[in-house]
């Protein structure tokens, strides 16, 4: 194995993204099926969210757009719900909530996580160790449990759900950041920058950040899908978005009461969550393979 890898692997291994000509990079993007499929669906969802008012055939909140619990058909492609609202329009507007929740939750998690992880790695010593011990400890608990606990005490509503989901993901971002910064920190250029007299903040921002960024983009993409999933679960449990918000998890929660009579209530929103989450997962996986194949193990 090693002999073959040595023989054939050497020229290929030196092809890092940074060093690769643009044409090679483009070819690799086009060859990565998961990146392409995931990326296009993500783009689609974003466009749907932006142009929701133009795309939606009905007002998502208007009661009695049609008959109550109307079967999917030509007028209502996904049927209507228990108030006669058009489900398709609600699913389309739901994309806005999902992206909003994802961005806010990932934003909270990423900012806090990167700050904690980078500080711990950069400071090192007992302080960095203690910080990471606490993070490791929190990491052993499922994020749903942490989010649930926070929402239970903060009070159940969409804002608190987003905050809770964001906080519950901090350990994840902190751990990845810690690992990446720690390995970057040991590289000579950091010492060199310090010798030249760059301050700590400057070293962190100017030298470490650009190297830490690519893996963080991957992590954020994968974290986005997790955040969407958690937030939808909280809404499904009645702890997130409150009626009449056209949020996908909440729509499933109310729709299940009619599952015997009108199963279409739980099909559309569910597929919407599923496809969106999968798109971000594929996108993140593809991005990871593209940016740093060695990261595969670390962020699984």
**What residue ranges bind another protein (CB under 8 A)?**
1-4, 6-8, 10-11, 34, 134, 137, 140-145, 148-156, 225, 229, 232-233, 236-239, 249, 252, 256, 259-260, 263, 266, 269-270, 273-274, 277-278, 281-282, 285, 296-297, 300
- Cβ–Cβ under 8 Å, residues 146 and 138: yes
Alpha helices by DSSP H, listed for 124-187, are: 125-139, 143-154, 158-168, 170-185
Residues facing 90 on adjacent strands:
none
If the CB atoms of residues 56 and 262 are measured against another protein, the closer one turns out to be: 262
If the CB atoms of residues 89 and 160 are measured against another protein, the closer one turns out to be: 160
Minimum CB separation from another protein for residue 256, in Å? 6
If the CB atoms of residues 154 and 193 are measured against another protein, the closer one turns out to be: 154
Minimum CB separation from another protein for residue 163, in Å? 10
Minimum CB separation from another protein for residue 152, in Å? 4
What is the number of other CB atoms lying within 10 angstroms of the CB of residue 60? Answer: 22
Q: Which residue has the tokens 């499933």?
A: 252
Residue 183, SS3 per DSSP = helix
Element (H, E) at 254: helix 248-255
Q: How far apart are CA 192 and CA 173, in angstroms?
A: 27
Q: How far apart are CA 211 and CA 227, in angstroms?
A: 25
Minimum CB separation from another protein for residue 188, in Å? 24
Minimum CB separation from another protein for residue 276, in Å? 9
If the CB atoms of residues 176 and 203 are measured against another protein, the closer one turns out to be: 176
């Amino acid at each position: 194995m090693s002999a073959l890898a040595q023989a054939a692997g050497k020229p290929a291994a030196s092809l890092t993204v940074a060093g690769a000509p643009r044409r090679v990079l483009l070819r690799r993007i086009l060859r990565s099926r998961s990146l392409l499929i995931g990326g296009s669906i993500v783009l689609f969802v974003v466009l749907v969210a932006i142009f929701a008012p133009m795309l939606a055939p009905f007002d998502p909140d208007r009661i009695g757009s049609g008959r109550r619990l109307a079967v999917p058909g030509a007028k209502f492609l996904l049927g209507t719900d228990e108030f006669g609202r058009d489900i398709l329009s609600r699913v389309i507007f739901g994309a806005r909530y999902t992206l909003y929740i994802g961005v806010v939750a990932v934003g909270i998690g990423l900012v806090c996580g990167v700050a904690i992880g980078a500080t711990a790695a950069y400071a090192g010593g007992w302080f960095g160790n203690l910080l990471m011990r606490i993070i490791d400890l929190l990491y052993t608990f499922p994020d749903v449990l942490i989010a649930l606990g926070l929402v239970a005490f903060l009070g159940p509503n969409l804002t608190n759900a987003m905050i809770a989901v964001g906080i519950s993901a901090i350990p994840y971002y902190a751990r990845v950041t810690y690992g990446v910064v720690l390995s970057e920190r040991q590289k000579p250029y950091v010492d060199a920058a310090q010798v030249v007299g760059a301050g700590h903040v400057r070293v962190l921002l100017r030298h470490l950040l650009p190297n830490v960024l690519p893996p963080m983009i991957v992590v954020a993409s994968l974290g986005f899908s997790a955040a969407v999933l958690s937030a939808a679960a909280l809404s499904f449990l009645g702890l997130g978005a409150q009626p009449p918000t056209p949020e996908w998890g909440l729509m499933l929660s109310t729709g299940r009461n009619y599952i015997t009579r009108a199963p279409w209530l739980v099909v559309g929103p569910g597929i919407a969550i599923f496809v969106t989450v999968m798109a971000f997962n594929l996108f993140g996986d593809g991005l990871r393979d593209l940016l740093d194949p060695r990261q595969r193990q670390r962020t699984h």
